[in-house]
Amino acid sequence: MIAIARRLKNVSRLWRMTRPDCVTVIEVRQRLAFVSLAGLLVWLVILPNSLALTGLVLLGSLTLIGFWWARTMAIKVSCQRELCYTAVQVGDELEESITLTNRSGLPVVWAEFVDRSEFPGYSASGVSIVERHEVNQWKTQTICTRRGVFMLGPWEIRMGDPFGLYQVRQIYHQQNEILVHPPLAALPPQVQPHSKKVGDLRPLYQPLSAETISITTTRPYVLGDPLRRVHWRTTARHNDLFVKVFEPEASSSIWLVPDLDAAAHVGEGNASSLETMVVLLASLASQLLNERLSVGLLADVDAAKAILPQYGSAHFWTILRALALLQPSRSHTLVDTLTMARSLISARDSMVVITPSLSPDWPQALKQLMGREHRSGLEVILLDPVSFGGSGDARLFATLLAGQGILSNVVRRSDVQPISGTYGEVRRWEFKTLGTGRVVVSQTPRRAVSPVASR
């Protein structure tokens, strides 16, 4: 009897089925029932009597009915989880729909959803009941608190027969990638694009008037306008000369250069200088691309992984993904980044450097870059380390930079307020496909999670 019990203890998986979406197994949950069944059989063989026969028939019937019930659930019950949207930003609400379908004539007395996702602070695990030929659907929500790329899944469904003899496990290896973008913020006034010239330097974001492929409007002809710019249709309609007004093009590309040195950053979590730098980078990229400028990003210490300057809203999502994955380095400093920039940034390009570092080393590297080819179109955004819990006088350091001919602005932590569910409406991203096949992104406002709104 003891040998039989030990053998049954090691044998728990009775049945297995593989489907395209999952692997289903039936396991023994109560081994004592099978030990008792074996004991009754031995009793009946050695000492036949009605009690042993009745117990054997009843327990045998329960094990057979329970297995039939479990096998029916294994075949006829399925589960599906679906994300309502897959691109969100910090502060958005992540919503997922889980559907448990029972196509059999037997009820599912209990079903446990076990989630093994790595999404921080999120778990869809729970227990449900499904009647026969019914569908049970529920939704789970959580607020995204960290940027990055996370996986939802794998996961499994556990079910059991009414007698508690068997357990059905449906193991789903499906995984969905969730990209949590950094939030955007209104740019502080001190880092808004310049509208006037500073001395004899070219403004950082000043466009250059030129004959591009885009025509914005027309205007009456002025003496001295070249005849090749005459817009003949408007001229014929007004019976007077009109010329084309071209959309201005950027005089250079704009490179965003973050400080990737982990030792330079202070603070923790979303209140750290690192996260504030990421929010500023995303907000700057958004505004500059909206102004139809070409924007690049040195989001890695490897030059081969830099985001080369491009135009357009589609490029914004490339930059956002790079920022979502941005991690500081413990082996490369801002000096290394500026050294790498020499091979990428040309004399016509502009550059915005964002750093909380007050070290005297990197201004020397920046001066060498300026002295070689980059005499204009440069701005440094200094994140005040004191506002993040660090030490140092950022304004004094900005004065020292000004003495070296480097334009800089000091930004405190309170100057950058992310637009997210914490401060106003929770927003979600949705993708729509037009009839032409073009995919566009739209935002749908959702309820606010807090009555406080500061925009």
Rg (the chain; Cα; Å): 33
For residues 1 and 89, the model is more confident at 89
For residues 40 and 217, the model is more confident at 40
Give the burial class of 320: count Cβ atoms within 10 A of its Cβ; 0-12 exposed, 13-18 middle, 19 or more buried. Answer: buried
Nearest to 331 by CA among 253, 278, 260: 260
Percentage of the chain with pLDDT > 70?
80
Residue 34: partners with Cβ closer than 8 Å, 6 or more residues away: 8, 28, 63
Please say whether the beta carbons of 185 and 280 come within 8 A: yes
Domain 189-206+250-415: CATH class, spelled out: alpha beta
- Centroid of chain to Cα 190: 29
pLDDT of 183 > 50? The answer is yes
Q: Give the CA dihedral 3, 5, 7, 10, nearest 10 degrees.
A: -140
Q: β-strands 207-208, 249-250: how paired? A: antiparallel
Q: Where are the domains of the chain?
A: 1-183, 189-206+250-415, 211-246
Pick the CATH number of 1-183 from 3.40.50.10490, 3.40.50.720, 2.60.40.10, 3.40.640.10: 2.60.40.10
Nearest to 136 by CA among 69, 80, 71: 80
pLDDT of 123 > 60? The answer is yes
Same fold, 1-183 and 189-206+250-415: no
Percent helix, percent strand, percent coil in the chain, to nearest 5: 30, 35, 35
pLDDT in tens, 139-174: 888 888 899 989 888 999 999 999 999 999 999 998
Q: β-strands 350-355, 378-383: how paired? A: parallel
Q: What is the pLDDT of residue 292?
A: 83
Percentage of the chain with pLDDT > 90?
43
